[in-house]
Amino acid sequence: MKKNERIVRINRKYKKFVTLGKLSSDLLPIELSTIELLFKNNKPYISCIPEGKYLVKKTYSGKSKKLRWEIMGVEGRTVIRIDKANYVKELQGCVAVGMSHADINSDGIIDVKNSETALELMKRYLPDEFTLIISKAKIDFGIKAINKKTPDWIRKIGTALITIGTSGSLLFVKLGSTKGAFICGGLGLLGKLITKFFGEK
């Protein structure tokens, strides 16, 4: 890697109906969640892009009339962006980013929540150009339903910590407090770990 190269990573986990991801960087106070299409040989409109190293830069989006991050140099593809969306059915190759994974519409396919919030956080902390490294995750971070045998108070703690972490991170980002955002991000991560630990096997 080049000296002072600004690195953002997406670690992917390929599921049956959707490609899940975790977006992280030393430049960001918390880890974000992503969804993409399944990988289908990089075919336009129906496949996510291949794993690899890419230059990302802000370019003007005619559709949204705003500057958006575009993933450059994807062979055989154009206008692949990191953008706002909640459901994989909205995508044609772009990366949707959110604050957390969840099955929002209860259709059995994982989505991302608070996509606009996540984009605002990226806009605050990331430069106009950075290097994106996409790779396969070494561990599973899939969303699991909480075991029905788990006591209600444990379920409530896990859910509450995720809610506090997400809402608190947004609040501290708006207030310009990186330390506060990191602390809330940690609470949200703890909530996710509680949820995952007590998930059904």
Instruction: Give the residue among 1, 160, 19 at the shortest CA–CA distance from 88.
Output: 19
Find out whether 84 and 112 touch, Cβ atoms under 8 Å.
no
Strand partners, 167: none
Q: How many residues in the chain?
A: 201
CB 56 within 8 A of CB 119: no
The three-state secondary structure class of 139 is: coil
- pTM exceeding 0.85: no
Q: Compute the average pLDDT of residues 144-161.
A: 60
Angle at 183 between CA 150 and CA 157, to 5 degrees: 15
Digit-coded pLDDT (tens) for 81-101: 999 999 999 999 999 999 989
pLDDT classification of 200: cutoffs 50, 70, 90? very low
Of 137, 141, 116, 140, which Cα lies nearest the Cα of 192? 141
Task: Read off the pLDDT band of 2 (50, 70, 90).
Answer: low
The alpha-helical segments, DSSP class H, found in 102-151 are 115-125
Q: What CA–CA distance (Å, rounded) separates 21 from 10? A: 6
